[in-house]
Amino acid sequence: MRTRRRPKSRHVAVQGLRDWAEGTVGSIGFALGEESFTHTDFVLPGIVPVEWARTYRSNFGAHDGQGPLVPRWTTPYHVAFEAKGDELLYHDASGCCSATT
């Protein structure tokens, strides 16, 4: 099977738009209409490298009211513990909550 390649554009702006659009291919789930994609902001190399990548999910309302980022964005670093009465609640990056006593 042969794949067709798009010709390179002479215009930098058009080529940048094509590169951006190719990065979003497959970002919409057809079953529920959810849009989801990950954007890497920076990478810090080293003994323990750090990659700051954030993920957008259109149907992720867990942090809409108050969240670490703007609504519907999260990173693997966004975890939290919350003391509620005698329970300790663990909130993971996806917004799920687990209770321990």
| Digitized pLDDT (tens) for each residue of the chain, 101 residues in all | 555 555 555 554 444 544 544 555 567 777 777 888 888 999 999 999 989 998 888 887 766 766 667 778 888 777 788 888 888 888 777 667 777 76
**Cα(39)–Cα(89) distance, integer angstroms:** 28
Please give the pLDDT value at position 29. 74
Bin 43: left if φ > 0, else alpha if -120 < ψ < 50, else beta.
Answer: beta
Please give the pLDDT value at position 100. 75
Please give the pLDDT value at position 6. 54
Please give the pLDDT value at position 42. 93
Please give the pLDDT value at position 30. 72
Please give the pLDDT value at position 63. 63
**Cα(99)–Cα(77) distance, integer angstroms:** 19
Q: Which of 47, 39, 28 is nearest to 70 (CA)?
A: 39
- Angle 18-72-63 (CA atoms, 0-180°, nearest 5)? 165
